[in-house]
Amino acid sequence: MENVKLIIEKNIQVGKDIYLMRLAGDTKAICNPGEFINITIPNYYLRRPISVCRYSNNHVDILYKVLGRGTKDLSTFKEKTEIDALIGLGNGFDITKSNKPLLIGGGIGIAPLFGLAEAFNKIGIKPTLIYGARSIDDIVLVDKLSKLADVHICTDDGSLGYKGNVIEYLKQSSIDFDYYYSCGPEKMLEFLAKEYSNGCVSLEARMGCGFGACMGCSIKTTNGYKRVCKEGPVFASSEVLF
Ligand SMILES: Cc1cc2nc3c(=O)[nH]c(=O)nc-3n(C[C@H](O)[C@H](O)[C@H](O)COP(=O)(O)OP(=O)(O)OC[C@H]3O[C@@H](n4cnc5c(N)ncnc54)[C@H](O)[C@@H]3O)c2cc1C
Ligand code: FES
């Protein structure tokens, strides 16, 4: 973990209440797709955890949805604003688990799957990606995703792609995979884990410190309590007691 100052290079709206922010600076402490960063937003006591979307040694992109006051404030930040953040947090995804990966993203849970797809591309693998959301307005950056993965889209209302959720889509499809990587709403992850045990889920939790000190983000697993911020956010599907 490192505490760094990053400069906003861009902060643009890419969908309904969804923003893409590029932060420039020393980001060498970010080692794996699926890690998160914890951002200080002035006037709020607690930092806000946001997944690493894409990254290099000198930048990190985040994709975030405006949910409450903190993310609303974040969406108003202008270019060249300095941001204080803890980076290199969490375990991230393990790409060595799969030769035929299936990535499954629900809503804003698509964010860490960009970096994951990119990591697979670097070792010569183009993963399959199922991207589900409520409607077409919640689906973002498909052009960029399509360069990294074989993308299948589902919407609850059928306004884009398959009409239904990601699990219904997966069941009726003939997608061949040996391991899945998922991030999205808790209910989606729970149903996915019940149907398919050969994969992992990236979880969210209300966080205090974000680096393992307060136990505030603990969840029940088959191996006792674990901290989402430290042992997670990525857990084996079979391990989480939803
Ligand atoms: C490891 C991790 C990675 C995340 N990655 C992303 C990401 O890539 N993009 C993104 O848009 N969001 C992400 N989130 C969620 C993000 O942290 C919250 O949306 C944000 O903190 C809300 O702040 P706020 O001040 O706008 O909302 P608040 O005013 O604090 O809360 C608004 C509502 O959101 C709920 N909420 C707040 N924080 C969380 C949380 N951590 N988990 C679940 N519900 C919460 C509150 O209960 C409340 O209902 C992630 C969370 C975690 C733990
Ligand atoms: S948020 Fe403090 S231990 Fe996880």
Tens digit of each residue's pLDDT (9 = 90 or more) over 120-137: 999 999 999 999 999 999
8 Å CB contact between 6 and 82? yes
The pLDDT assigned to 100 comes to 98
CA nearest 151: which of 130, 175, 167, 134?
130
Q: Which amino acid is at 221?
A: T
Residues with CB under 6 A from ligand 1: 36, 48-51, 63-65, 67-71, 108, 111, 204-207, 233
The per-residue pLDDT of the chain, averaged, comes to 98
Can you tell me whether residue 238 is helix, strand or coil? Answer: helix
pLDDT at 148: 98
* Cross-strand pairs, 167: none
Neighbours of 172 (CB within 10 A): 9
pLDDT of residue 41: 97
Structural contact between residues 79 and 20, judged by C-beta atoms closer than 8 angstroms: no
Amino acid identity for residue 211 in this structure: F
The pTM (predicted TM-score) of the whole model is 0.96
The one-letter amino acid code at 205 reads A
Give 144 Cα–ligand 2 centroid separation in angstroms: 33
d(CA 194, CA 3): 38
Q: Which ligand approaches the C-alpha of residue 209 most closely?
A: 2
152 C-alpha to ligand 2 centroid (Å): 34
Q: What is the model's pLDDT at position 209?
A: 97
CA of residue 48 to ligand 1 center, whole Å: 7
- CA-nearest residue for atom 37, ligand 1, is 206
pLDDT of residue 235: 98
Pocket test for ligand 1, best of 204, 218, 227 (most atoms within 8 A of CB): 204
Q: Do 217 and 206 meet the contact criterion of CB atoms below 8 Å apart?
A: yes
Q: What is the CB-side half-sphere exposure of residue 98 using CA atoms within 13 A?
A: 25
Residues of the chain with pLDDT under 50: none
CA-nearest residue for atom 17, ligand 1, is: 49
Q: For the chain, what is the radius of gyration of the CA atoms?
A: 17
Q: Is there an atom of ligand 2 within 6 Å of 88 CB?
A: no
